[in-house]
Amino acid sequence: MEQRNEIGNFYLHSLCFNKVKFFCFRLCVIHRIIIIIIIIIMYWNRSILTDKTISFNRPDITFMNKKTRNTFLIDIAVPNTHNLAKKITDKQNKYQELANEICAVWKQKAAQVIPIVILSTGVIPKSLSQSLTRLNLHPST
């Protein structure tokens, strides 16, 4: 759990700095964090309320760009080596219903589920660079 929080904190800082040129000092990953800037809304570890009851409604990071009307649901996992492929597809499938509901309720053009998976042994899968590219972050971040 602590590894996941540290990874989440790192990517939250990267998104803040890269997307809005705003660096968040001393972000505490234990508490729910809401960062609202004129164009950007980011939530850390917060339930998303929708019209329908959705069982999986709490991604690690929710990043919404109000100007382009795009939302990214980012979920972080630190599995063992043998669970890699299963964990990536589970994360995608788990939040797809929430992504569809966000498009309808928040009137977004697109809502994408982006899994960030780093193995507990420190191995970085190829899918991580694809996920970072979808977030417009440098693949070596």
Cβ atoms of 91 and 78 closer than 8 Å? no
Instruction: Give the pLDDT confidence of 5-64 residue by residue, as tens digits.
Output: 777 777 766 766 555 444 343 444 444 555 555 677 888 888 998 888 899 999 998 988
Residues 6 or more apart in contact with residue 46 via CB below 8 angstroms: 32, 33, 34, 58, 62
Grade residue 94 by pLDDT with cuts at 50, 70 and 90. Answer: very high
The answer to whether residues 50 and 75 touch, using CB atoms and an 8 Å cutoff, is: no
Q: What is the pLDDT of residues 105-115, one digit of tens each?
A: 999 999 999 99
| Residue 62 near residue 49, CB atoms below 8 Å | no
pLDDT at 29: 42
Q: What is the pLDDT of residue 141?
A: 65
Contact between 69 and 109 under an 8 Å Cβ cutoff? The reply is yes
Asked if 51 contacts 59 with a C-beta cutoff of 8 angstroms, the reply is no
Torsion 18-120-83-81 (CA) sign: positive
- Specify the pLDDT at position 103: 94
